Amino acid sequence: RLDHAAKTATDDDRTIAQRRADFFVDALDHIDPDNEPARTPNMAIGVMVPASTLAGVDDQPAISADRDWVIPANVLRDLALSGNPFWYRLLVDDQDDVLSVTY
């Protein structure tokens, strides 16, 4: 949602990252702290992770869906073990076209 909002604000001369940050801060202003879901937000951050990285076979980094940033393999494995992640398995071809999704 943040990426979409930042990319559609074409009348703004700032970078997409700057616009994304402002939309994020603006969204925080609308959270009601008395509302239970607001205290424990449900976040979805999509990264592409090779299965070999999760298995500890190699140290390929996780890559963001927009290929703009990476997470080192050791950090990703720590996050996967420390949180309560909900995994999507994406089967992709050599051009990263999604062939199937498993939840």
Do both 20 and 63 map to the same domain? no
23, 6 in Cβ contact below 8 A?
yes
Do both 17 and 53 map to the same domain? no
Does the pTM surpass 0.85? The reply is no
Residue 94 belongs to domain spanning: 47-102
pLDDT of residue 66: 77
Do both 91 and 51 map to the same domain? yes
pLDDT of residue 57: 94
How big, in percent rounded to 5, are the helix, strand and coil portions of the chain?
35, 15, 50
Domain count, the chain: 2
Residue after which a domain boundary falls, among 27, 43, 59: 43
Do both 36 and 54 map to the same domain? no
Residue 40 has pLDDT above 70, yes or no: no
Do both 52 and 97 map to the same domain? yes
